[in-house]
């Protein structure tokens, strides 16, 4: 890992978090909600999650919005259920950039709706720090 990548990862880890609440609904109710709002889209229910808001330049934010994205990512320490079997129960997962975020617990990316269950956190980090975790 190069020095810049280590610095970016260190920045990401050390950024303070603010508590947030996801859904308190049971799994069956959440599945019904996801199927009603996002038919034909896979979902992944997660716990112990963090929403990461990217700090980016105006130019980068413009590019993000032009491509239909929001400068948000989700990192979750515990997968509860993945409708397409991509992630095993108990594993961690990180999302790609959001395309919508609804009701404080439905985090939609191009391919997946992450259902944020229970308590979690939100933090901000530079786009470079976030992307360093994807290399």
Output 15 or 34, whichever has higher pLDDT: 34
Are the C-beta atoms of residues 121 and 18 closer than 8 Å to each other? Answer: yes
Q: d(Cα 17, Cα 20) in Å, to the nearest integer?
A: 9
Measured between its terminal Cα atoms, the distance across the chain in Å is 9
Cβ-count burial of 109 within 10 angstroms (0-12 exposed, 13-18 middle, 19+ buried)?
A: buried
pLDDT, tens digit, 9 for 90 and up, residues 31-78: 999 999 999 999 999 999 999 999 999 999 999 999 999 999 999 999
Above 60 in pLDDT, residue 1?
no
**Per-residue confidence (pLDDT) for residue 8, from 0 to 100:** 61
pLDDT, tens digit, 9 for 90 and up, residues 77-110: 999 999 999 999 999 999 999 999 999 999 999 9
pTM, 2 dp: 0.89
Are the C-beta atoms of residues 17 and 50 closer than 8 Å to each other? Answer: yes
């Amino acid at each position: 890992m190069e020095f810049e990548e280590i610095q970016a990862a260190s920045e990401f880890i050390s950024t303070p978090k603010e508590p947030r609440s996801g859904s308190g609904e049971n799994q069956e109710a959440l599945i019904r909600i996801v199927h009603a709002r996002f038919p034909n889209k896979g979902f992944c229910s997660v716990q112990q999650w963090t929403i990461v808001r990217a700090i980016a330049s105006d130019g980068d934010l413009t590019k993000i919005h032009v491509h239909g994205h929001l400068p948000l990512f989700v990192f979750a320490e515990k997968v509860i259920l993945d409708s397409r079997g991509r992630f095993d129960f108990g594993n961690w997962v990180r999302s790609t950039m959001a395309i919508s975020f609804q009701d404080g617990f439905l985090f939609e990316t191009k391919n997946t709706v992450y259902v944020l269950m229970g308590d979690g956190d939100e933090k901000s980090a530079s786009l470079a720090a976030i992307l360093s975790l994807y290399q």
